[in-house]
Structure 1
Amino acid sequence: MPAPDLMTAEQTLTGRITTASNATFLGSISDSAVVTKPLAGEKPLWDLPDGCLAHREVATYVASEALDWNMVPRTWLRDGPLGEGMVHLWQETDPEQNAVDLVSVEDVPDSGWKLVLEGEDQAGRIVALIHEDTPALRRMAAFDVVFNNADRKGDHVLALADGHRYGVDRSLTFHGDHKLRTALWGWIGEALSAEELGALSVFFRGWRASSARTWWSCSLPEDRTTHCSLCPVAFHGAIPPPRSEMPGVPWPLF
């Protein structure tokens, strides 16, 4: 849970992120800069219940903390100027770093990066989608498989100056059907580390026990998704390939 003042102190709004598909605002609580998404600003989706996207954002934070992977900014539900909604702490990114990038095929680095796909841009140039080859991003890729993230765009991976990486905009998670769409496909078939597998196995055992439900600060109808999605990662020890007729990457990519 966030500090008491983050739950009770006045929340003010200072601007709106107009590129977001749902109503998303910048603001502050006490001395903390925050991003907030009110429930009232969520657009209905044909394949998810109404009014639950903020809860899924919180659920992924709870899961990240349970795994001790620290890949989701502190996130919680609270009342605000536009009613109840999701709030997470603002993270200042480094404009000189990109954890996921789109480059010319001639500029794909020889090492330190993973190639996801090649395609043609609007100008007819052949470009490549690439991402960092780091343990932090590999954990994020496994996390997205486990929690069925349908919208891991490239700029949903925040690159901080100290090298830390956060994943944001996680409202399309925990669906009961396979929905995985991500820009982080560079490790398909590669073995996860013992630490990664150990954390997922501990989480899996805890999730099956009723007491583990207290990890969740909300009620979601797709509880079974975690059980189903963990199996190919935790038991096969690698990132599985796309496995449905749906596109494996989100659109747009960024």
Structure 2
Amino acid sequence: MTTSDLRPVLDEETALRLLRNGAFEIEGRLVDASNTTLRGILTLDGLTARCVYKPVAGERPLWDFPDGTLAGREVSAYLVSRATGWDLVPPTVLRDGPLGPGACQLWIEEPDDAEPLVGFVPAASLPPRWFRVASARDEDGTPYALAHADDPRLARLAVLDAVINNADRKGGHVLVGPDDRIYGVDHGVSFHVEDKLRTVLWGWARRPLPPDAVEMLTGLAAALPGELGDELAEHLTLAELTALSGRVDRLLAGDRFPLPSEDWPAVPWPPV
């Protein structure tokens, strides 16, 4: 089997069918993840693709999120992303796997020549059309800037994070996939009822929302009381769904990207 065999171009429904029903083989563990995170290979009807599998049994207890709920939040982020029409989160399902039930997400392989859109750059040479988010120095005292590109694809991701209340948008959770599409991954600590937005994508703070974001939020507000809300109710509490609707309404009313909270660290650690 070649690497290209594991990079099939799949439409969404085919990807979901493979994720739900594919025969599962564990390939290895992603050792940098704080919770048990495995890479696997799924095979169904002659199709083969990689996936990321996060079993509920491997979730590390957190003081502010109920135990055993992170996988469902991963699926919820995908459901909201799909409802926006922006498709920023790879197809994700909750399924049984080798270590029990867990979130199973299509693996996104970044091209070798993909240019990073978020990271630390020398403070004296910030790339054109990049936003400085925070200042830093390396061990030798050389100044750097945590920064990201002023890219409309990233702006959409920043809006999605505000909607789902993502508490951990690191730079490494932003992927550039095939055809230069942007994907956000790792949404287990999202949808809290309290404001916990923590991200490296603060470049648009206070700025007006673009028209496509206002259109998306309007559609999302209309979808939440219907089928979308019913799907999310399988993974989120009533209080979390109410808070989700409230965030959408506030974004529409304010018509601007949110500001960092004064009660919660604004940038995750590590940032990238």
Normalising by structure 2, what TM-score? Answer: 0.88
Residue 241 of structure 2 corresponds to 223
For 1:136 and 1:86, how far apart are their aligned partners in 2?
25
Question: 168-177 or 218-227: which moved more?
Answer: 218-227
Superposition pairs for residues 144-223 of structure 1, below 5 Å?
144-207=161-224, 209-216=225-232, 218-221=234-237, 222-223=240-241
- Pick the aligned partner of 2:92 from 57, 60, 75: 75
1:28 matched to 2:44? The reply is: no
Gaps of 5+ in 2: 1-12
For 1:249 and 1:5, how far apart are their aligned partners in 2?
35
For 2:207 and 2:149, how far apart are their aligned partners in 1?
15
1:242 matched to 2:260? The reply is: yes
**C-alpha displacement of 1:9:** 2.8
Residue 29 of structure 2 corresponds to 16
Alignment-mate amino acid for residue 218 of structure 1: E
Residue 64 of structure 2 corresponds to 47
1:233 matched to 2:258? The reply is: no
Does the 8 A contact of 1:147 with 1:225 survive in 2?
no
Report the aligned-residue RMSD: 1.6
- Pick the aligned partner of 1:119 from 132, 136, 139: 136
Residue 108 of structure 1 corresponds to 126
Residue 251 of structure 1 corresponds to 269
Does the 8 A contact of 1:150 with 1:182 survive in 2?
yes
Give runs of ≥4 in structure 1 deviating > 3 Å. Answer: 1-6
**C-alpha displacement of 1:253:** 0.5
Structure 1 residues 161 and 115, CA gap change in structure 2 (3 angstroms): farther
SS in 1 for 2:208: coil
Alignment-mate amino acid for residue 241 of structure 1: L
SS in 2 for 1:43: coil
Question: 217-226 or 241-250: which moved more?
Answer: 217-226
**C-alpha displacement of 1:5:** 4.2
Structure 1 residues 159 and 212, CA gap change in structure 2 (3 angstroms): closer
SS in 1 for 2:223: helix
1:90 matched to 2:107? The reply is: yes
For 2:75 and 2:159, how far apart are their aligned partners in 1?
18
1:133 matched to 2:150? The reply is: yes
Alignment-mate amino acid for residue 232 of structure 2: W
Q: How many residues align?
A: 252
Question: C-alpha offsets along residues 46-96 of structure 1, whole Å, 9 cap, x if unaligned?
Answer: 111000000000000000000101100010011111111001111111344
SS in 2 for 1:223: helix
- Pick the aligned partner of 2:81 from 47, 52, 64: 64
For 1:215 and 1:197, how far apart are their aligned partners in 2?
23
Alignment-mate amino acid for residue 91 of structure 2: R
